[in-house]
A and B are shown apart, each in its own frame.
Chain A
Amino acid sequence: MLRMILVRLALTVPILLGVSIVAFGLMRALPGDFVLAAAGTNTVSQEVIDTTRRQLGLDRPIWEQYGIWLQNALSGDLGTSFATKKPVVSELLPRLAVTAELTLMAGLTALAFGATTGLASARLRGRTDWAVRGLNSLLLAVPNFVIATLIVLLFGLYFPTIGIFNYVPFAKDPLGNIVSLLLPAISLALTVSVTVSENTRAAVLEVSSQDYVMVARAKGLLARTILGNYLVRNALTPVITVTGLQLAALLGGSILIETIFTIPGMGQYLFDSVTRRDYPVIQGIVLVSSTIVLLMNVLVDIAYARVDARVSYE
């Protein structure tokens, strides 16, 4: 087990290296650069442009720029933002915290809601099954930014006292912070809950027809014991996988939801930085997000082994 974790962690290093090279190359392939984007529609002399580029190191060959970035990144320094002149790390971390909190809330909501509807639809069948599957189709068909917009409209029109756009920092008011993230978390959660619900339903149906569930009934066990120890624990593995992977994807930041609810998270930060061609920031966000995705994958594998003793990684 420990060996597996170490091997998996070691494997993330070459993957991260590859991701950073691709991200670096892609950004440079986009038309324009920071200097041109900053100049905007103003007429700036070629001389000024050249001087600024030299100051930012953009005049060097691209592999040299990458080499410098990599060398700094390895020592924990992700560079300085072109736009704000502040270290990328210090700008990125608070935003990552906000996005992580939003994702965690969305994930828990999606897990609670999706697992409940999936379990209900598999166990009760009949009308409940139809209702749940209908709801899932609807939620899957409607993108989350539409749901978010509807929520904003609904609350803005009928409950104007609830400040939808008032993001409250956690340090200032922990409870207010959670309340302010509730609606965006729900907007994110509904789409994820479809995947959780459908996977829970399929897994529970599969487990229900297993012989050991018949044995459990023949033992005269209480319905709740059978449900908890026999059905749910066996149905958990596929649900853990999909939830974990969906959460990892969300941790990169949801640009649309963060923009709609004006939340200072990673998504908005990335969007602004791409528009400004703020290379160090983009590079930093890509590195951090892909690290998180890779770590989540390792965590999902560990969770497997915790839930199911048959899983060993020797």
Chain B
Amino acid sequence: MLEVRDLTATFNREGTPSQVVNRIAFDIAPGEAVGFVGESGSGKSVTARAVMRLAPEGSSIAWGGRILFKGQDLLALDERQMRDVRGRRIAMVFQDPMASLNPVMTVGQQIDDMLMRHMGLSQGAARKRTIELLAQVGIRDPEIRADDYPHQFSGGMRQRVLIAIAVSCQPDLLIADEPTTALDVTVQAQILRLLMRLRKEIGMALMLITHDFGVIAGMVERVYVMHRGDIVESGQVDALFADPKHDYTKALLAAVPRIETARRSA
């Protein structure tokens, strides 16, 4: 479904280009869950945003190569066509739920506007669907909560709302960029379980970006390990955990705290 070939991303800072993603290639099949692991600065977030063609505000970034989505090169689309892909076919959940919701709109309005834009729903029909979606992501009393503002929600609840926004148009691919990094450990597990459940219900593919191998385990089938703009290793999760080939992968795996090692050293 998604075939990425020779993807490069080059930032242009005051005339000096710096390439942060170096001709990488990867695939995601329909309904598949794929992890991207690497430390911060490894280029995994830039890769995720390249698929959405989202440049950070005020920066100039150039993408090269091909991003084939269902046979269509996203890098060849114009901005208007790309807007129809964003949110509708490929949706995204971001890292910081505290900053990702518009503070002057109710959470309901922020799901409504997405449904009205892509699904051609009327205000009333959109609100009905919004309430269903809020219930689906585990928000209690969705009829009442839809009229609340983001500041009346906790971090975990806001991430649930953002997930409801992302899955509202039943996308083919959901990109989750460090979706649990900003959350408490107990809430992290709930959000991951929610993502897993929705992936099955909607039948969408999942591209999960994280720096944490602990998050990857049990969530995805395949993993790409990124380091300094390159994919240094890839493979099935179990195989990679059992027998990492690349030194960087070994180092990353060693960084995950384990109960056994803790016991042994105690």
Contacts and interface: CB of A to CB of B under 8 A. Distances in A.
Contact of B94 (A211, A221, A234): A211
B187 to A, nearest CB: 19
B83 A220 contact: yes
B86 A220 contact: yes
B256 to A, nearest CB: 28
A123 to B, nearest CB: 11
A209 B117 contact: no
A284 to B, nearest CB: 41
A296 B4 CA distance: 58
A209 B99 CA distance: 11
Interface stretch (A9-17, A65-73, A302-310): A302-310
Interface string A209-252: 11111111111111001000110011000000000000000000
Interface string B52-67: 1010111000000000
- Give the size range of A's interface with the partner: 20 to 34
Among B56, B91, B103: residue with most chain A CB under 10 A: B103
A222 B117 contact: yes
A310 B100 contact: no
A208 interface: yes
Interface residues of B, number: 31
A229 B99 CA distance: 16
B103 A212 contact: yes
Given A309-B149, A310-B151, A218 B52 contact: yes
B240 interface: no
A221 B104 contact: no
A234 B102 contact: yes
A219 B104 contact: no
B85 A216 contact: no
B20 interface: no
A312 to B, nearest CB: 10
Contacts of A234: 102-104
A214 B105 CA distance: 15
B117 A229 contact: no
A-B CB proximity, top 9 nearest: A220-B86, A220-B87, A211-B99, A219-B87, A309-B149, A218-B92, A212-B102, A220-B83, A211-B100
B24 interface: no
Contacts of B83: 220-222
Nearest to A209: B57
Contacts of B103: 212, 234, 308-310
Nearest to A229: B105
A230 B92 CA distance: 18
B56 A214 contact: yes
24 contacts: A208-B58, A209-B56, A212-B102, A212-B103, A213-B57, A214-B54, A214-B100, A215-B92, A216-B102, A218-B52, A218-B87, A218-B91, A218-B92, A218-B94, A219-B113, A220-B84, A220-B87, A220-B114, A221-B117, A222-B117, A225-B113, A229-B105, A234-B103, A309-B149
A52 to B, nearest CB: 62
A232 to B, nearest CB: 10
Interface in A68-99: none
B155 to A, nearest CB: 13
Given A220-B88, A221-B113, 4 more contacts: A212-B99, A216-B102, A233-B105, A309-B103
Contacts of A208: 57-58
Contacts of B105: 229, 233
B50 to A, nearest CB: 13
Contacts of B92: 215, 218
Contact of B104 (A213, A214, A217, A309): A309
Contacts of B56: 209, 214
A246 B166 CA distance: 43
B165 interface: yes
Contacts of A307: 104
Given A208-B57, A221-B113, A215 B86 contact: no
A220 B149 contact: no
B87 A212 contact: no
A219 B87 CA distance: 4
Given A213-B57, A214-B57, A214-B94, A221 B101 contact: no
Given A222-B83, A310-B151, A215 B117 contact: no
B37 interface: no
B96 interface: yes
A239 to B, nearest CB: 14
Nearest to B59: A209
Among B57, B104, B113: residue with most chain A CB under 10 A: B104
Contacts of A230: 102
B166 to A, nearest CB: 8
Interface string B78-116: 000001111110011010100111111110000001100
Contacts of B106: 309
A229 B101 contact: no
A218 B86 contact: yes
A215 B100 CA distance: 6
Nearest to A307: B104
A125 to B, nearest CB: 8
Contacts of B149: 309-310
